[in-house]
């Protein structure tokens, strides 16, 4: 009988970190991230350790066996055994060499740095193992950058597989490994620490504190694992794995290096397929350290604002730079209430100066992540923050072509060829500062002969600017009107509603009527459903024929069949999981 695939479903996602339920989806018996036990390990409950591993090395290549410790494979009538061959694994430094014998298996697949370079069978679309073991992970972890690179390749090539890196995990680095894409860990390092009289904790190895009754034994080692895995699973559910990873990485210089290399690889992903377009969970992104500034989400925001975003068409002459606020979105803060009362024209483009995002235009302040971040505020800027903000302002000004800048941010700003008025007199919210702000706006507006636009025109131009930033087009907004009471607005054409703007979600909620316009723009990602498939549910790999365009989690997707638009959906999985990720990829929204 052929190996049965593992029944698994993603219950929470946070980029490469995912929480899987294992077994019957109605009553899962275990979860991943979790542990793989060996025959040397003590008994641990199934909820935290769904697998057991054996290696038979009396003959080469070694025979490997991975067994489920519960009923994890349909029809859930017993435990399963998956056998594999380890292959002949050469040192990673010999990547140009070919041993001629790679690891192989069906549901359990051993991989190595060498097989990633030479085994062409890995390219076959029919290969979809349940669990992958990177057998030379200890060697890769000692080679600069190779572990991160291997995980990035394997994670994207096999989005539905659980990945295990034998021999390198511990309570101190399981959050980082999960962030890199690893789902399964083992007790190898804990056994070594135990043999050396050390405890392997979430902060790294240390001696037991005898005064508090601590003992070095495997039960205590496992207690530290329970704590770390519980913290990791909770962080995946709450979307805070990045924070947990940054904190945990400080226990080791090698961990900091791996996080930085991973960030570099993700930033190089031009499609940003790991990132989220919309997040309605209410979570906050806490950027509490300089490492946070390297987050690819931050880099993506900076790049798009600097290089791509265009303001409302009537706000291209006068720029006002304002400080940020602790309250997000800024318009809800008391300080920005005062700023808005003292900006007596809708012809000025307002941009907030902040860290780590750099710049946040007023029309984008409700978007993810601008409305959802938090940072420690001291009032001081370090050299990196100053350089980033000045570089962004310079690029935006050169691209848009502002004639004047009113600088109320408190930073020293100087752009060659553009008149800059500094209006801060002490604090930004002082009476003197606000009076100076108001006078400067009126003087600039009068000097450039800029008449206010009607509220109707003002609103539609703001919607167009948002749409260009979010979707890369505003063509669907031609000939529309905006109505309603702030902050929720309705967008209509010829009496029919096309969309609503709800700042709480930070996105357009499109109606069925708008879908042909969105599809015709060619700027929305689209998927094609299999021919003759009766599409009634959501989008799954099993009903998917092809995918085109960049997909981020939360993205609006056009659904076609035989080249005809049949509806829309919203992505619940980021682009790197498409088209063969586990379970539901998008939730159906409209059907035509």
pLDDT per position as a tens digit, 270-318: 767 899 999 888 888 888 888 888 899 999 999 999 999 999 999 999 9
pLDDT tens digits, 121-143: 998 888 999 999 999 999 999 98
Q: Which residues pair with 322 in a beta bridge?
A: 352
Degrees, nearest 5: CA angle 464-467-471: 150
Long-range contacts of 424-433 (CB under 8 A, 24+ apart): 428/322, 428/323, 428/335, 428/339, 429/335, 429/338, 433/408
Of 394, 318, 296, 395, the closest CA to residue 362 belongs to: 318
pLDDT of residue 1 exceeding 60, the answer is no
Instruction: Output the pTM of the full model.
Output: 0.93
Cα separation, 366 vs 327, whole angstroms: 12
3-state secondary structure 113-173: HHHHHHCHHHHCCCCCCCEEEECCHHHHHCCCCHHHHHHHHHHHHCCCCEEECCCCCCCCC
* Least confident residue range of 73-82, 371-380, 422-431: 371-380
Residues 6+ positions from 435 with CB-CB distance below 8 Å:
342
- Residue ranges of the alpha helices (H) in 482-542? 515-521
Bigger pLDDT: 170 vs 250: 170
Instruction: Say if CB 298 and CB 359 are below 8 A apart.
Output: no
Mapping DSSP to helix (H, G, I), strand (E, B) and coil, where does residue 42 land? coil
Q: Which residues pair with 286 in a beta bridge?
A: 374
Cα separation, 101 vs 68, whole angstroms: 27
Tokens 């060996």 belong to residue: 38
DSSP structure class, residue 72:
-
Bigger pLDDT: 457 vs 379: 457
Q: Which residues pair with 489 in a beta bridge?
A: 501
Place 347 in a pLDDT band, splitting at 50, 70 and 90: very high
Instruction: Say if CB 163 and CB 169 are below 8 A apart.
Output: no
Q: Extract the tokens encoding 22.
A: 């294992």
Residue boundaries of the structural domains of the chain: 8-88+102-267, 285-447, 464-591
Place 99 in a pLDDT band, splitting at 50, 70 and 90: low
Q: Extract the tokens encoding 133.
A: 């073991």
pLDDT of residue 420 exceeding 80, the answer is yes
Q: Extract the tokens encoding 233.
A: 């699973």
One DSSP character per residue, 291-327 reads GGGG-HHHHHHHHHHHHT----GGGSSEEEEEE--SS
For residue 368, CA distances in Å to 304, 387, 471 come to 13, 24, 14
285-447 folds as Rossmann fold (3.40.50)
DSSP structure class, residue 255:
H
Cα separation, 253 vs 489, whole angstroms: 50
Instruction: Say if CB 86 and CB 103 are below 8 A apart.
Output: yes
pLDDT of residue 452 exceeding 80, the answer is yes
Cα separation, 431 vs 434, whole angstroms: 5
Query: What pLDDT score was predicted for residue 390?
Result: 93
* Least confident residue range of 96-100, 199-203, 419-423: 96-100
Degrees, nearest 5: CA angle 163-165-171: 105
CA dihedral 22, 24, 26, 29 (to 10 degrees): -50
pLDDT of residue 100 exceeding 70, the answer is no
Q: Extract the tokens encoding 548.
A: 């085109």
CB half-sphere exposure, 26, CA atoms < 13 A = 3
Place 95 in a pLDDT band, splitting at 50, 70 and 90: low
Cα separation, 409 vs 498, whole angstroms: 37
Residues 6+ positions from 151 with CB-CB distance below 8 Å:
134, 163, 165, 180, 181, 182
Q: Extract the tokens encoding 346.
A: 């809708």
For residue 305, CA distances in Å to 233, 438, 470 come to 33, 26, 11
Query: What pLDDT score was predicted for residue 184?
Result: 98
Cα separation, 141 vs 177, whole angstroms: 11
pLDDT of residue 379 exceeding 80, the answer is no
pLDDT tens digits, 534-572: 999 899 999 999 999 999 999 999 999 999 999 999 999
Q: Extract the tokens encoding 590.
A: 């409209």
DSSP structure class, residue 91:
P
Intrachain domains 285-447 and 464-591 with the same fold: no
Of 107, 111, 106, the closest CA to residue 87 belongs to: 111
Place 378 in a pLDDT band, splitting at 50, 70 and 90: low
Degrees, nearest 5: CA angle 193-196-197: 90
* Burial of 332: CB neighbours in 10 Å, binned 0-12, 13-18, 19+: middle
464-591 folds as 2.30.130
Cα separation, 528 vs 192, whole angstroms: 51
Instruction: Say if CB 120 and CB 157 are below 8 A apart.
Output: no
Residues 6+ positions from 253 with CB-CB distance below 8 Å:
none
């Amino acid at each position: 009988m052929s190996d049965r695939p593992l029944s698994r479903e993603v219950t929470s996602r946070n980029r490469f970190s995912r929480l899987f339920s294992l077994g019957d989806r109605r009553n899962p018996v275990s979860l991943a991230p979790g542990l793989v036990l060996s025959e040397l390990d003590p008994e641990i409950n199934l909820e935290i350790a769904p697998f057991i591993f054996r290696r038979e090395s009396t003959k080469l290549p070694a025979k490997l066996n991975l067994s489920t410790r519960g009923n994890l494979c349909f029809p859930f009538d017993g435990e399963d055994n998956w056998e594999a061959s380890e292959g002949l694994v050469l040192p990673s430094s010999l990547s140009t060499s070919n041993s001629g014998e790679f690891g192989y298996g069906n549901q359990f697949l051993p991989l190595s740095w060498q097989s990633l370079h030479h085994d062409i069978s890995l390219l076959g679309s029919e290969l979809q193992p349940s669990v992958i073991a990177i057998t030379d992970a200890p060697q890769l972890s000692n080679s600069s950058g190779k572990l991160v690179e291997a995980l990035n390749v394997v994670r994207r090539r096999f989005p539905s597989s659980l990945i295990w890196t034998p021999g390198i995990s511990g309570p101190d680095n399981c959050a980082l490994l999960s962030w890199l894409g690893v789902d399964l860990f083992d007790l190898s390092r804990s056994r070594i620490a135990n043999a050396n009289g050390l405890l392997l904790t979430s902060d790294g190895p240390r001696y037991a504190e005898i005064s508090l009754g601590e003992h070095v034994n495997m039960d205590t080692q496992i207690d530290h694992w329970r704590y770390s895995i519980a913290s990791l699973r909770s962080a995946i559910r709450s979307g805070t794995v990045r924070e947990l990873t940054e904190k945990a990485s400080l226990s080791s210089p090698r961990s900091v290096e791996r996080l930085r290399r991973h960030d570099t690889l993700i930033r190089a992903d031009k499609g940003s397929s790991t990132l989220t377009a919309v997040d309605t969970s209410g979570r906050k992104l806490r950027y509490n350290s300089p490492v946070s500034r390297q987050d690819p989400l931050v880099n993506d925001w900076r790049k798009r604002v600097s290089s791509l975003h265009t303001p409302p068409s009537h706000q291209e002459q006068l720029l006002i730079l304002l400080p940020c606020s602790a309250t997000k979105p800024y318009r809800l803060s008391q300080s920005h209430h005062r700023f808005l009362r003292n900006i007596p024209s809708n012809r000025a483009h307002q941009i907030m100066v902040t860290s780590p995002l750099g710049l946040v235009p007023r029309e984008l302040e409700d978007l993810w992540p601008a409305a959802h971040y938090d940072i420690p505020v001291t009032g001081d800027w370090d050299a990196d923050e100053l350089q980033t903000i000045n570089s962004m302002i310079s690029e935006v000004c050169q691209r848009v072509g502002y004639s004047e800048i009113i600088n109320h941010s408190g930073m020293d700003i100087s752009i060659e060829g553009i008149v800059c008025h500094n209006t801060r007199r002490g604090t930004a919210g002082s009476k003197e500062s606000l009076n100076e702000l108001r006078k400067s706006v009126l003087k600039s507006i009068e000097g450039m002969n800029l008449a206010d636009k009607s509220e109707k025109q003002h609103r539609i131009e703001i919607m167009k600017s948002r749409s260009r930033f979010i979707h890369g087009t505003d063509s669907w907004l031609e000939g529309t009107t905006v109505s309603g009471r702030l902050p929720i607005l309705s967008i209509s054409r010829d009496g029919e509603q096309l969309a609503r703007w709800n700042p709480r979600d930070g996105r357009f909620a499109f109606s069925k009527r708008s879908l042909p316009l969105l599809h015709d723009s060619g700027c929305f990602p689209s998927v094609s459903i299999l021919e003759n498939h009766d599409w009634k549910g959501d989008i799954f790999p099993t009903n998917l024929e092809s995918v085109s365009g960049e997909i981020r989690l939360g993205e609006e997707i056009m659904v076609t069949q035989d080249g005809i638009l049949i509806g829309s959906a919203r992505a619940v999985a980021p682009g790197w999981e498409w088209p063969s990720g586990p379970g539901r990829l998008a939730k159906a929204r409209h059907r035509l």
